[in-house]
């Protein structure tokens, strides 16, 4: 193979290319023996994970007056002040975080900014840095030599909102090889401030399913992940806040529920080889998405036979006159909660093939309220699966484990 | 529909949710009559595009000492100093940029940071903010009420590098509706510092194809977009720089070429209903990707009958002893360039169904060198299509227009 020509680019061309493309960020010198996190952009050495699990974060900022590291709960009790080195690179080494995925950011002279060394992940209603902390022995969300499904971006016009929307659709391995086979459908929703990319990017749902299906532990299924926000036609993007969500679930989720029922399900059934009945359709979500799953599925039991809420706040009371000061446990009333969904346990148990609730052991009040609701439901005779993720809080490692427990229980 | 329960969440649960989720960024007050750019995250009002085309960028940074806006060429001649308002929000309004997509960033006390109001786009080897400036009358890359294809994430194990790689694969509308139809394949590569997401996120290639196919102007085709970097097994990510690229194309592209020929093409042919021969396979790319298209396709004419380089630097000389100071035009030798690929024009014209070169009119030296090469090739009898994008430089609007011109010429 002749390669001499490869050495000959004119300097004018070279200059043009260099000017036009700019230079990519040069990788910082490795500060130590640490290895780049899997969530780093290719070539970025920081953040680096040490063999003992500690993590070092660095940013070059010679002119900065102050720099801190901050992030989600699992990262540790921050914010962490960073220290300026002689060359203007600031750094901090933190104790081993909880395994799993954690959002993080730098606070540079008072402004939250991303780490250029990290990929970005949609959270907190914006693109945010994230770090993947390996969990020893946990390979259920790793990529393995097993058949892999695809994740497809599917654009569809919503008659409800008048907008083009994008759903991400996981099709199981061999979907294209078995053109006559039909599959059940799991609708799987992200949390507040996240979007339709969360379950595949942060959650690695596609790998969890690939691995479960390869092991024969889960039924091959289609997983649909949509953007859990919807606005009225012509309206600006709906600014969903926690306050709105907790004050008025109908206002928060009503339009999205319409999108799911009127637009999303018909689109999926028309576009993919689904088994288009309630016995082969599940709705699940995490946090806000768990609230949505219960909100939507409980009102449309003709469409769903499986319902799962992963760290989703449980709605308790019924009496508009009652002050909100009462404790959750006292207020969860299985007769009236969710419009009487659980009022007749025998009927519910017959109609709903799976009610699945989960929480991380470190979710504190949320864990307590969900487990209290589970106790009340079980006490009344409602069949409910409760899954607890040990040692994790309101974070993606909880939800990855949730999906590993949940998926094998669906459609069997 | 009973909705009373929606108003009842216990304060403990509310507190837990608020604490756990954090609050999404509150949208800044609209500074004026401007409309959010389509590239903003939902709800972000800045950057805002005014009716006269000017653009205002804002960032709240009360403690910052200095703040500038900077970005790609089409944004204007920056960097642009930003001015601090009384409330600590800095802003700047710039003259109407060139229509299309432009990378941009803020320089906050000397550090390049992203705009939290923008989606991020992989460029400059990291996640970078970007702004979409509408072009009056140009709707060829807009989403319309036409049948839409899908963009699929396809994971595959590279025998060449030993790594799992992800390609993005556009399947045309109705791919799943016509289970016996087979399609030609275009491999379409990004530029240096970008990745496999560039052509769909920045380039909107899927919409350009949807629109062309719906209008009957392009043959329905599968488009494969891979990450144009590859390292030897076990090696750290290859730090491809412009210097390496211009010094040694074999070093820069050799491994990736192996991936394309040994892994990618067989994977695509095994996974999708392709027409698996050279007459139905094209390779194209922008900038560095254009160099790759010529590098790979010219050495594997048994695999490709269509070759396109979009703003790709053209390799000129052949003589290792010759100093690089000679002008490009003098040095482009149709007899020896590209290992003699063009030495026999009649043979080349018969073998290669399309050689397509393009450049933006504002690419200056790069435009001059590409158009000079075109003149030399035509002078020698080589059939080559040259497309010039008026008024645009080394930027995505050039490459969107390129694809609109190129795609209809393929496989017909």
List, in order, residues 6 or more apart from B191 with CB less than 8 Å away: A21, B198, B285, B286, B287, B288, B289
Nearest CA in chain B to A237: B43
Tell the residue number behind the tokens 């346990």, with chain if given. Answer: A345
Of B200, B120, B190, B118, the closest CA to residue B153 belongs to: B200
**A226 chain-B contacts, CB cut-off 8 A:** none
Contact B111 A236 (CB under 8 A): no
**How much is the mean pLDDT over chain B?**
89
- Cα–Cα dist A121/A204, whole Å: 12
pLDDT, tens digit (0-9, with 9 covering 90-100), for B353-387: 999 999 999 998 899 989 999 999 999 999 999 99
Residue A242 to residue A394: CA distance in whole angstroms: 15
- Which of B3, B4, B5, B192 should be substituted to probe chain A, the one whose Cβ sees the most A Cβ atoms within 10 Å? B5
- The single residue listed with the structure tokens 């380089």 is B309
Q: Under a CB-based contact definition with an 8 Å cutoff, are residues B264 and B168 in contact?
A: no
Distances in whole angstroms, Cα of residue B144 to Cα of each of A156, B141, B173, B211: 10, 9, 13, 8
CB A30 within 8 A of CB A22: no
Report the residue count for chain A. Answer: 412
Q: What angle do CA A55, A122, B161 make, to 5 degrees?
A: 65
- For A371: left if phi > 0, alpha if psi spans -120 to 50, otherwise beta; the answer is alpha
Closest partner residue to A246 (CB to CB) among B5, B14, B23 is B14
pLDDT of residue B300: 97
Of B17, B164, B339, the CB nearest to A143: B164
pLDDT value of residue A208: 98
The size of chain B, in residues, is: 412
Angle subtended by helix axes B288-299 and B249-258, to nearest 10: 70
In the prediction, which pLDDT does A17 show? 53
Question: How far apart are the C-alpha atoms of A125 and A5, rounded to whole Å?
Answer: 49
pLDDT tens column, B84-121 = 999 999 999 999 999 999 999 999 999 999 999 999 99
User: For each of chain A's 412 residues, which pLDDT tens digit applies?
Assistant: 333 333 344 444 544 554 445 444 444 455 579 999 999 999 899 999 999 999 999 999 999 999 999 999 889 888 999 999 999 999 999 999 999 999 999 999 999 999 999 999 999 999 999 999 999 999 999 999 999 999 999 999 999 999 999 999 999 999 999 999 999 999 999 999 999 999 999 999 999 999 999 999 999 999 999 999 998 887 776 667 777 777 778 888 999 999 999 999 999 999 999 999 999 999 999 999 999 999 999 999 999 999 999 999 887 754 444 433 333 445 678 998 888 999 999 999 999 999 999 999 999 889 999 999 999 999 999 999 999 999 999 999 999 999 999 999 999 9
Least Cα distance to A132 among A92, A100, A94, A97 occurs for: A100
What's the pLDDT band for B329 if we cut at 50, 70, 90?
very low
User: How many CB atoms are located within 10 Å of the residue B324 CB?
Assistant: 16
Contact of A164 with chain B, judged by CB distance below 8 Å, is answered with yes
Q: Give the model's confidence band at B333: pLDDT under 50 very low, under 70 low, under 90 confident, else very high.
A: confident
- How many Cβ atoms sit within 10 Å of the Cβ of residue A22? 17
**Is the predicted pLDDT of residue B27 greater than 60, yes or no?**
no
Pairing of strands A126-133, A120-123: antiparallel
Residue A77 CB burial class (10 angstroms; 0-12, 13-18, ≥19): exposed
Helix (H, G, I), strand (E, B) or coil at A373: helix
Say if the Cβ atoms of A13 and B328 lie within 8 Å.
yes
pLDDT at position A30: 52
Q: What pLDDT shows up at residue A27?
A: 45
Q: Which of residues 82-121 of B touch A (CB under 8 A)?
A: 108-114, 116-120
pLDDT at B259 over 60: yes
Which pLDDT score is estimated for B234?
79
- Enumerate the residues of chain A whose CB falls inside 8 A of the CB of residue B64: 109-111
Residues in B touching A146 (Cβ below 8 Å): none
Strand locations in B33-149, DSSP E? 35-36, 48-49, 55-60, 67-71, 80-81, 83-84, 89-94, 100-108, 111-113, 120-123, 126-133
Region B171-198: mean pLDDT is: 96
Collapse the DSSP code of A274 into the 3-class scheme (helix H, G, I; strand E, B; otherwise coil) and give the result.
strand
The whole-model pTM stands at: 0.93
Q: How far is CA A409 from the centre of its chain?
A: 20
Structure tokens at B342: 């063009």
Does residue B212 have a cis bond before it (omega within 30 degrees)? no
Residues 6+ apart with CB under 8 A from B183: B171, B172, B175, B220, B221, B222, B272, B273, B274, B275, B280
Residue written as token pair 């999205």: A256
Note whether B146 contacts A: Cβ–Cβ < 8 A: no
CA atoms of A249 and B3, how far apart (whole Å): 8
Cβ within 8 Å, pair B365-A248:
no
Segment B138-157 shows an average pLDDT of 97
ipTM of the predicted structure?
Answer: 0.92
**What is the greatest pairwise CA distance in chain B?**
84
The model's pLDDT over B36-91, given as tens digits with 9 standing for 90+, comes to 999 999 989 999 999 999 999 999 999 999 999 999 988 988 899 999 999 999 99
Our CA-based measurement puts residue B84 at a distance from the nearest CA of chain A, in whole angstroms, of 14
Q: Which of B12, B153, B339 faces A328 most closely, judged by CB atoms?
A: B12
- Cβ pair A5, B319 in contact under 8 A: no
- Euclidean distance between CA atoms B109 and B382, whole angstroms: 53
- The pLDDT score that the predictor gives to residue B74 is 87
Please provide the DSSP assignment of B114-125 as one string: --TTB-EEEETT
């Amino acid at each position: 193979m002749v390669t001499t020509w490869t050495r000959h680019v004119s300097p004018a061309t070279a200059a043009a290319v260099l000017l036009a493309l700019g230079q990519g960020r040069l990788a910082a010198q490795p500060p130590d023996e640490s290895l780049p996190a899997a969530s780093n952009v290719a070539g970025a050495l920081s953040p680096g994970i040490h063999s003992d699990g500690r993590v070092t974060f660095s940013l070059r900022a010679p002119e900065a007056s102050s720099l801190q590291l901050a992030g989600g709960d699992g990262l540790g009790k921050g914010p962490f002040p960073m220290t300026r080195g002689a060359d203007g690179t600031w750094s901090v080494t933190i104790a081993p975080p909880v395994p799993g995925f954690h959002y993080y950011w730098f606070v540079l002279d008072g402004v939250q900014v991303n780490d250029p060394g990290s990929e970005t992940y949609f959270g907190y209603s914006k693109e945010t840095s994230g770090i993947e902390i390996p969990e020893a022995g946990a390979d259920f969300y790793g990529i393995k030599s097993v058949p892999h499904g695809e994740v497809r971006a599917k654009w569809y016009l919503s008659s409800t909102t008048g907008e083009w929307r994008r759903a991400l659709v996981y099709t199981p391995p061999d979907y294209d090889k078995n053109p006559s086979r039909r599959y059940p459908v799991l609708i799987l929703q992200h949390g507040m401030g996240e979007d339709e990319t969360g379950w595949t990017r942060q959650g690695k749902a596609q790998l969890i399913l690939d691995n479960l299906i390869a092991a024969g532990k889960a039924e091959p299924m289609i997983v649909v992940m949509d953007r859990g926000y919807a606005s009225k036609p012509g309206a600006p993007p709906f600014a969903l806040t926690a306050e709105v969500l907790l004050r008025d679930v109908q206002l928060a989720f009503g339009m999205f529920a319409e999108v799911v029922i009127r637009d999303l399900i018909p689109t999926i059934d028309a576009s993919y080889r689904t088994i288009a009945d309630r016995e082969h359709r599940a709705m699940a979500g995490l946090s806000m998405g768990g609230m949505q799953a219960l909100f939507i599925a409980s009102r449309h039991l003709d469409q769903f036979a499986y319902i799962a809420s992963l760290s989703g706040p449980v709605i308790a009371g019924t009496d508009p006159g009652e002050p909100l000061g009462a404790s959750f446990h006292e207020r969860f009333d299985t007769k009236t909660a969710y419009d009487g969904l659980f009022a007749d346990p025998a009927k519910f148990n017959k109609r709903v093939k799976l009610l699945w609730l989960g929480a991380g052991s470190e979710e504190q009040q949320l864990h307590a309220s969900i487990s209290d609701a589970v106790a009340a439901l079980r006490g009344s005779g409602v069949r409910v699966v409760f899954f607890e993720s040990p040692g994790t809080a309101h974070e993606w490692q909880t939800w990855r484990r949730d999906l590993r427990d949940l998926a094998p229980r669906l459609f069997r």
